Amino acid sequence: MALESKFSEVAENEFYSPAYNKFLSERKLVGSKCKKCGHICVPPKPICPKCQGSEVELADIKGKGKLVAYTVVAVGAPLMVEEGFDREHHYCSGVVELEEGARITARILGMDVTKPDQIKIGAPVTVEYVEAMHSGEKKTFLAFRALP
Amino acid sequence: VNQKVRKVGVVGIGHGKFGVRTDVNVSELAWEAMKLACVDAHLTPKDIEFCAIGSAFSGMTYEEALAAVTITEYANMMPTGHVRCESACATGSAAVHIAYMKVASGISDMVMALGVEKMTEVDTPTTVEFIGRGGSYLWEYENFGLTFPGYYALMATAHMARFGTTMEDLARVAVKNHHYGKINENAYLRNEITVEDVLASRPIAWPNKFLDCCPINDGAIAISL
């Protein structure tokens, strides 16, 4: 009984989830920037959570940042198992602090998942997009790759 | 201290048997603890004015979607007021919090708080998915496939980097918890473990290993306030 988010194909408001997903499928990472206080949110929000200002604009996010938290998952979510990860093939997920200041959760690529203790908090990462099939539908997911 | 807040006392406790409880349904499981909490306080269910039921996976990992209705009816508490609440791993504590506020505020004199979960009716991947959905489905679960041990692992790696916390420090939590399990006849796992056992156990979501993580199981605890 898989419950899946069903969103309208038409992205009516560029600060809501359907638009963010559409941008991701076009390999663009966007956020919202408050016109009053400058606070940036990724994914975008139509109202600034910092100053409650409702004047926000879309902000292009450069996609550079650093790793602030991570895990290497051995017992994965069923949708990751569907992608081929299992108890022998682990994946890394983490929280990235973007240069723009916002923090975002994403898949982390380019790390040696067989040596999780060697992964460094603070490691520089850059945005990458992963295409995968979920429930028979191709979707684009946000990822960050470790810089050498 | 706010003078309008009344003092609240725990007058009865009930601890059911934890484990893989395929022998009972959720109401029967809950009633084991509720009955003990009534007997301990020399009360009957009809004396309870309000029952707060903490259960995070009602209708997800067990069949009954409206657990508070089903359980209070089974316990012959009707027409007692009731509510079901969830607060992830603190779900049982959330029920206690609600029950406490009922008495502290003067709205009720005699209440019960129950924490009940039945997680073994579905297979492990299904439970992993439902718990993983604790966060944002789009940005967290679907986007990067986090599991519940994974959410805590994110906090652990950040904590380790910031405070120098070690794997051994984290393992001691599991060693302590297993010790209390050993001396509790109602606990699911009743074996002592060592720091070395924890460190050698297989990874679940690094740095969380098998012995760091709560097992999927069934159980109920109730208190009368």
Confidence of residue A7 (pLDDT cuts 50, 70, 90): low
Residue of A17, A73, A134 to mutate, testing the B interface (most B Cβ within 10 Å of its Cβ): A73
Confidence of residue A9 (pLDDT cuts 50, 70, 90): low
Q: How many CB atoms lie within 10 A of CB B66?
A: 11
Q: What is the mean pLDDT of chain B?
A: 94
- The verdict on a CB contact (< 8 Å) between B154 and A75 is no
Selection from B213, B152, B141, B153 nearest residue B177 by Cα = B213
Which residue among A68, A93, A143 places its CB closest to the CB of B158? Answer: A68
Which residue on chain A is closest to B59 by alpha carbon?
Answer: A1
Q: Tell me whether B147 touches chain A (CB under 8 Å).
A: yes
The distance between the two most distant Cα atoms of chain A, rounded to a whole number of Å, is 49
- The verdict on a CB contact (< 8 Å) between B128 and A106 is no
Which residue among B138, B145, B161 places its CB closest to the CB of A80? Answer: B145
pLDDT attached to residue B1: 62
Residue type, A81: V
CA separation for the pair A96, A145 (Å, rounded): 11
Cα A132 from chain centre = 14
Query: How long a stretch of residues is chain A?
Result: 148
The predicted-structure confidence for A18-77, as pLDDT tens digits, reads as follows 889 889 999 999 999 999 999 999 999 999 999 999 999 999 999 999 999 999 999 998
CA separation for the pair B173, B222 (Å, rounded): 25
List b or e across A90-128, with b for residues whose CB sees 16 or more CB atoms inside 10 angstroms: bbbbbbbbbebebebbbbbbebebeebeebebebebbbb
Prior bond of B207 cis (ω within 30°): yes
Mean pLDDT of B144-159: 92
Residues 6+ apart with CB under 8 A from B84: B53, B54, B55, B58, B66, B67, B68
Highest mean pLDDT of the ranges A75-84, B136-145, B183-192: B183-192
Contacts of B149 in chain A (CB under 8 A): 75
Taking one residue from A and the other from B, the number of pairs with CB-CB distance under 8 angstroms is: 109
- The verdict on a CB contact (< 8 Å) between B145 and A85 is yes
SS3 for chain A is CCCCCCCCCCCCCCCCHHHHHHHHHCCCCEEEEECCCCCEECCCCCCCCCCCCCCEEEEECCCEEEEEEEEEECCCCHHHHHCCCCCCCCEEEEEEEECCCCEEEEEEECCCCCCHHHCCCCCEEEEEEEEEEECCEEEEEEEEEECC
CA separation for the pair B82, B51 (Å, rounded): 5
CA separation for the pair B62, B127 (Å, rounded): 10
- The verdict on a CB contact (< 8 Å) between B125 and A81 is yes
- The verdict on a CB contact (< 8 Å) between B145 and A91 is yes
Contacts of A91 in chain B (CB under 8 A): 145
Residues 6+ apart with CB under 8 A from A124: A64, A65, A66, A146, A147
Distance from CA of B46 to the nearest CA of A (A): 38
Query: Higher-confidence residue: B22 or A6?
Result: B22
pLDDT attached to residue A1: 40
**A interface residues, B as partner, C-beta within 8 Å:** 5, 17, 21, 43, 68-81, 85, 87, 90-91, 93-95, 104-107, 116-117, 119, 121-122, 134, 139, 141-143
Q: Tell me whether B204 touches chain A (CB under 8 Å).
A: yes
Q: Tell me whether B1 touches chain A (CB under 8 Å).
A: no
Selection from B87, B81, B7 nearest residue B51 by Cα = B81
Confidence of residue A13 (pLDDT cuts 50, 70, 90): confident
Which residue among A74, A107, A122 places its CB closest to the CB of B144? Answer: A107
The predicted-structure confidence for B55-87, as pLDDT tens digits, reads as follows 999 988 998 999 999 999 999 998 889 999 999
Q: Tell me whether B126 touches chain A (CB under 8 Å).
A: yes
Q: Within B105-147, where are the H helices?
A: 124-132, 143-144
Between positions 64 and 123 of B, the ones with CB within 8 A of A are: none
Confidence of residue B180 (pLDDT cuts 50, 70, 90): very high
Residue type, A9: E
Q: Within B41-66, where are the H helices?
A: none
